[in-house]
Amino acid sequence: MNIIFILYFSIGLIASTLGAIAGLGGGVIIKPVLDLFGDFKLPTIGVLSAATVLSMATVSLIKMRKKEVKIDKITSSFLAVGSIVGGFVGKAIFNLIAISLNIPTTTSIIQSVVLTALLSLIFIYFKQKHNLKTYMLKNKLAIFTIGITLGFLSAFLGIGGGPLNVAALCLLFSMTSKNAGINSIFIIFFSQLSALILIVITSGFGDYNLIMLLVMIPGGILGGWIGSNIVTKLSNTQVEKIFNIVILIIIIINFYNIARATLIL
Would you give the DSSP letter of residue 5?
Answer: H
Furthest CA-CA distance within the chain: 52
Closest CA relative to residue 95, chosen from 37, 154, 103, 188: 103
pTM of the shown model: 0.87
Distance (Å, whole) CA 121 – CA 227: 25
Mean pLDDT of 31-44: 87
pLDDT tens figures, 48-98: 998 999 999 999 888 877 665 677 888 888 988 998 898 888 888 877 776
pLDDT tens figures, 193-210: 888 888 888 778 888 889
pLDDT tens figures, 208-252: 889 999 999 999 999 999 998 898 888 888 988 999 999 999 999
Task: Give the pLDDT score at 154.
Answer: 85
Percent of the chain with pLDDT over 70: 95
Domain spans, the chain? 2-264
